[in-house]
């Protein structure tokens, strides 16, 4: 493994992010066990959150995201599950601060497998969102037998929205803020992303955009022939108002590229769902994880046929 460029502006920026990480994690008031895992892509910091005797699920934060805020979104899932939550190498968090994993080379699946091997997880459900949905697909196409069920929330890797609005409303403001942070610039990003009125998310966006060399390359979108091996049930939740991955685009292409049982849910939010929306998402996800059946459990299913499709609004 060759270390690539340091992903923070400087050491001070990294220390500020780590301090924010610790403070935010403490504010969640959850029990957890920390691990540092040696992987082929660099040392990975990971948390096992909640009661370890409960069934384990895995969640991974989104691109340029951070584990404590991802846990904040999925906190209600701890009522029924314990959560494996690794910090992605080369992104904000406490894993190796070098971008050593390539989406273009489809390496995220290999990294996830090494993390799950540490926890001796043979088969597990996933709750992923945004960029980490594509990470999950990289894993699921390589190791489909290890996937029980999966929630894909405002997911990447399937279909994206129009490119020019993303560049004008998000990419350019991100770059400007890195070199010249302003209150106006921060407000503009939050309006497009969501999280308005949440001071914790506001502090994170400020730290991330001003001191972190963001991953600006989108994850690749997967093709039908790559995903035909995935037979586990999927809960796909998306929003019409998501600038990155709008619901119509995601649902349409998901029907084209997956040959498994799928459930579709629309939510009313921007890319970052509110706490109120996430309460409903987590309730739906818990029901799905506990009650949905895998294709293997269904009697004599037909080959390559979508077994169940529904669309709901929450």
Mean pLDDT calculated for residue range 251-267: 96
> Pick from 133, 164, 136: which is nearest to 250 by CA?
133
Q: What is the CB-side half-sphere exposure of residue 276 using CA atoms within 13 A? A: 9
> Pick from 108, 74, 114, 110: which is nearest to 91 by CA?
108
For the chain, give every domain's residue range: 11-161+217-313
Report CA torsion sign: 101, 106, 111, 112: positive
∠ Cα 305 310 311 (to 5°):
135
∠ Cα 124 126 131 (to 5°):
145
Counting every residue written for the chain, the total comes to 314
Q: Per-residue confidence at 303, pLDDT binned at 50, 70, 90?
A: very low
SS3 107: coil
Give the distance from CA 242 to its chain's centroid: 15
Summarize pLDDT for 9-51 with one digit per residue, the tens: 999 999 999 999 999 999 999 999 999 999 999 999 999 999 9
CATH of 11-161+217-313, one of 2.60.40.10, 3.30.70.330, 3.30.260.10, 3.40.50.1820: 3.40.50.1820
231/208 Cα distance (integer angstroms): 37
> Pick from 185, 187, 156, 154: which is nearest to 172 by CA?
185
pLDDT reported for residue 186: 87
Summarize pLDDT for 101-132 with one digit per residue, the tens: 998 899 999 999 999 999 999 999 999 999 99
SS3 299: coil
CB 102 within 8 A of CB 71: no
What tokens were used for 267? 């939510």
């Amino acid at each position: 493994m060759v270390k690539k460029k340091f992903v923070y502006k400087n050491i001070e920026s990294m220390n500020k992010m780590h301090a924010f990480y610790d403070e935010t994690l403490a504010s969640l008031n959850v029990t957890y066990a920390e691990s540092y895992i040696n992987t082929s892509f660099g040392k990975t910091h990971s948390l096992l959150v909640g009661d370890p005797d409960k069934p384990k699920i895995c969640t991974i934060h989104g691109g340029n995201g951070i584990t404590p805020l991802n846990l904040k979104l999925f906190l209600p899932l701890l009522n029924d599950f314990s959560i494996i939550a690794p910090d992605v190498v080369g992104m904000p968090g406490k894993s190796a601060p070098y971008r050593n994993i390539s989406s273009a080379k489809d390496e995220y699946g290999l990294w996830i497998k090494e993390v799950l091997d540490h926890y001796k997880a043979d088969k597990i459900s996933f709750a992923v969102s945004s960029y980490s949905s594509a990470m999950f697909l990289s894993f699921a196409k390589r190791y489909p037998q290890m996937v029980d069920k999966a929630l894909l929330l405002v997911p990447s890797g399937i279909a994206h929205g129009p490119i020019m609005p993303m560049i004008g409303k998000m990419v350019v403001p991100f770059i400007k803020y890195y070199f010249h942070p302003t209150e106006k610039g921060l407000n503009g990003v939050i309006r497009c992303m969501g999280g308005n009125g949440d001071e914790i998310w506001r502090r994170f966006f400020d730290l991330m955009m001003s001191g972190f060399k963001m991953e600006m390359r989108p994850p690749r979108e997967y093709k039908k022939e790559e995903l035909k091996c995935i037979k586990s049930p999927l809960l796909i939740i998306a929003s019409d108002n998501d600038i990155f991955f709008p619901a119509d685009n995601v649902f349409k292409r998901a029907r084209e590229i997956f040959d498994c049982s799928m459930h579709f849910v629309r939510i009313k939010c921007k890319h970052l769902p509110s706490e109120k929306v996430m309460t409903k998402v987590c309730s739906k996800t818990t029901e799905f994880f506990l009650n949905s059946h895998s294709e293997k459990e269904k009697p004599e299913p037909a080959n390559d046929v979508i077994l169940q499709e529904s669309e709901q609004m929450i």
